Structure 1
Amino acid sequence: MNEWIAALGGRQVAEDRVEFDQAAPGAPVPARLALEDTVMIPLVHLGVLDVAGPDAEKFLQGQTSAQVTLADGEFAPLTCFCTPKGRMLANAQLWRVAPEHYRLAMHRSLVGPLVDLLKKFAAFYRVELSVRDDLALLGLIGREAAALAEVRFDIIPPKTWHQAGDADIQVLAHPGPRPRLLTCLPAEQATEAWQRLAEHATPVGNAVWRLHDIQAGLAWLDASQGDTYLPQMINWEALGGISFKKGCYTGQEVVARAHFRGQVKKRLVRAQLDGSLLPELGSTIRDAEDKSCGEVLAAELDAYGEAEVLAVMSTKEPLLPLRVAGQKLKLLKLPYPIERLDPEALAAK
């Protein structure tokens, strides 16, 4: 865990999970604080990879589902990296830090494997891959998130899936039930930034950010889930994470065929359990006949102590009731339609 997080009271409970002890007895649970106030979060589950050099744009264009030219310093698209069979190895957010310098944020467990893969192709380009352990990612959620970012970083927050800032500090807006901002800054500045933010925001663990991802219908794969799903199985095209207007990239033919022929037999769904037991990732969802119909992709406790999940399930109508880990599962509505959203249109909004 980063030293600055420990110095400010953070407690590592897993490799990619940090908690903060709430000071006052009877204080609201962290997830509820995000509904009622403004919270700040160390996003320790995310890692950063930089791709820089004269051929950076050309290199990424051949590897990723994003139309890289759209990452122009304002729009910061979702993207993914696939196998030749179209299965995702990693999904990420892409933004441009400076000319010939791009940045990717993804689950930290995927950064190393992705670098190992990309190095095989990078040798043919004037490009450098850099794992940026010297950067910190901070999250802000709540009604004052935008105002705090503007005052503390002197950056006017952008609209969703866009970026603002400069080569040192970038602020990116993410969707969710409350205003949500991700800030990327040098780790050496994180302590001071955290202390300044703490004057008006409450520190909480990164489970709260992950809960808001679930509520936004946004799944971030980890190393255990790589090479398993087509991008459409986590609704990536409905979130603007696939350009169907760009040229070839690894896996493009399979991804395009699945889209145009309607061959996606599994989809990401949002659901709530009737208890507070968090199912393990990969837990099987079973229907009324005890047949497997899906698996859990992400799970966190909500503001009322109930488990909310993202799951990949068969597109066939399930036989109710559904159960997972001994608990009933109720399907919830996603906050977006399951239809193609071209990143080209999203960038123009």
Structure 2
Amino acid sequence: MPDNPQPAPGHEFALPGHAVLAIAGRDAVAFAQAQCMNDVAALGDGEWQWNGWLTPKGRVVALFALLRHDADTLWMLLPDASAATLAADLQRFVFRSKVTLTPLAMPVAGRFGAPRQAQGSTFAKAGDGGVELDMGGDGGPRTLRIGPMPASVDADALARWEAADLAHGLPRLDATQSSQWTPQQLSLERLRAFSVKKGCYPGQEIVARTHFLGQAKRGLALFDATPAPAAGSDVVACGRGIGTVVSAAAGACLAVLPLEREPGPLQADGIALHHRPLLGGLAR
């Protein structure tokens, strides 16, 4: 019998940190295109992408999955940020746009198994009003479901889900790490989560300058660590801080480090860090 039993493929469990923010109205796509860092206009009905909202200095406030239901309805699936807080922040930029921002009271659940209908960047609508997303990658199949029925709480399965996010290079930004990092520092090009070709959006000049001038000098690295160091901890090499832990989960962490650095042992909070490659396949 394995030391760490894995949930059965059909076992659904709650993802309590996730929230959903609806953007609705005839200007929904135009509003999101002007505010978000990825090319919202490129989405077709029934498609989703990784996206985010930046500070004017190009730092990631929130990273999310953006779903287009139709020309008048978008959903932001927020793994970490408060839907109510983000709605209030975005409301300041609505001006005369015909758009409403509404947090939705819809539970979110995960499952380690292939989606029943969703595939890649195409999501599927269920008959009960729920939505299914394909969250699988090179680490194996995963399915995420939005509403309407809540799932059971399973702390072990949730920890495994969060560790899988990190393994695929999806940083989970708690309040201490929000607004701290540029998309390039978080290696979000791996998820195709931002655009350097679309029109203006908050922070766009910083993102574009970094891309076209080749000035990205730091990026994400994945480590095994037991216990995992806390987000915000310094990564130390030879007694000198060279980076920062951005996200931590059971036995793993993501850190922003120089892309070019001397080989050698690393630690954070006195915990040894053991490098391993990031998994692919989560880009949408």
TM-score normalised by structure 2 residue count: 0.90
Contact kept in structure 1, 2:28 and 2:71, CA below 8 Å: no
User: % of aligned pairs identical?
Assistant: 28
Q: Does 1:81 align with 2:33?
A: no
Contact kept in structure 2, 1:270 and 1:334, CA below 8 Å: yes
TM-score normalised by structure 1 residue count: 0.74
Q: Choose which of 154, 165, 169 in structure 2 pairs with 1:213.
A: 165
**Counterpart in 2 of 1:235?**
187
**Counterpart in 1 of 2:264?**
320
Give the Cα–Cα distance (whole angstroms) in 2 for the partners of residues 37 and 103 of structure 1: 27
**Counterpart in 1 of 2:109?**
138
Secondary structure of the 1:58 match is: helix
**Counterpart in 1 of 2:142?**
180
**Counterpart in 2 of 1:19?**
none
Q: Does 1:279 align with 2:229?
A: yes
Contact kept in structure 2, 1:41 and 1:206, CA below 8 Å: yes
Q: Choose which of 264, 270, 276 in structure 2 pairs with 1:332.
A: 276
CA displacement 1:303-329 (0-9 Å, x = unmatched)? xxxx21111112231351111122221
Contact kept in structure 1, 2:31 and 2:97, CA below 8 Å: yes
1:185 maps to a residue whose letter is G
**Counterpart in 1 of 2:214?**
262
**Counterpart in 2 of 1:294?**
243
Query: 1:39: how far off?
Result: 3.7
CA displacement 1:176-222 (0-9 Å, x = unmatched)? 41201111122xx33xxx48xx9xxx885421210110111111322
Q: Does 1:47 align with 2:47?
A: no
Aligned residues: 282
Contact kept in structure 2, 1:43 and 1:138, CA below 8 Å: yes
Query: 1:270: how far off?
Result: 0.7
Matches within 5 A, 1:87-126: 87-126=59-98
Contact kept in structure 2, 1:158 and 1:171, CA below 8 Å: no
Secondary structure of the 2:176 match is: helix
User: In proportion to residue count, which structure has more helix?
Assistant: 1
Give the Cα–Cα distance (whole angstroms) in 2 for the partners of residues 286 and 111 of structure 1: 35
Label 1:116 to 1:318 Cα distance change in 2 as closer, same or farther (>3 A).
farther
**Counterpart in 1 of 2:125?**
165
Secondary structure of the 1:297 match is: strand
Query: 1:286: how far off?
Result: 0.3
Label 1:69 to 1:174 Cα distance change in 2 as closer, same or farther (>3 A).
same
Structure label with greater radius of gyration = 1
Give the Cα–Cα distance (whole angstroms) in 1 for the partners of residues 65 and 168 of structure 2: 15
Query: 1:117: how far off?
Result: 1.6
CA displacement 1:22-81 (0-9 Å, x = unmatched)? xxxx8853xx405x7554221111111111011111111100012112332332100111
Q: Choose which of 4, 21, 28 in structure 2 pairs with 1:56.
A: 28
Segments of structure 1 that go 5 or more residues without pairing to the other structure are: 1-25, 151-155, 302-306
2:95 maps to a residue whose letter is A
Segments of structure 2 that go 5 or more residues without pairing to the other structure are: none
1:181 maps to a residue whose letter is T
Give the Cα–Cα distance (whole angstroms) in 1 for the partners of residues 278 and 268 of structure 2: 19
Contact kept in structure 1, 2:166 and 2:172, CA below 8 Å: no
Give the Cα–Cα distance (whole angstroms) in 2 for the partners of residues 182 and 85 of structure 1: 32
Give the Cα–Cα distance (whole angstroms) in 1 for the partners of residues 126 and 24 of structure 2: 16
Contact kept in structure 1, 2:37 and 2:53, CA below 8 Å: yes
Contact kept in structure 2, 1:39 and 1:203, CA below 8 Å: no
1:74 maps to a residue whose letter is G
Contact kept in structure 2, 1:210 and 1:300, CA below 8 Å: yes
Query: 1:226: how far off?
Result: 1.5
Give the Cα–Cα distance (whole angstroms) in 2 for the partners of residues 272 and 58 of structure 1: 42
1:141 maps to a residue whose letter is F
Contact kept in structure 2, 1:293 and 1:318, CA below 8 Å: no
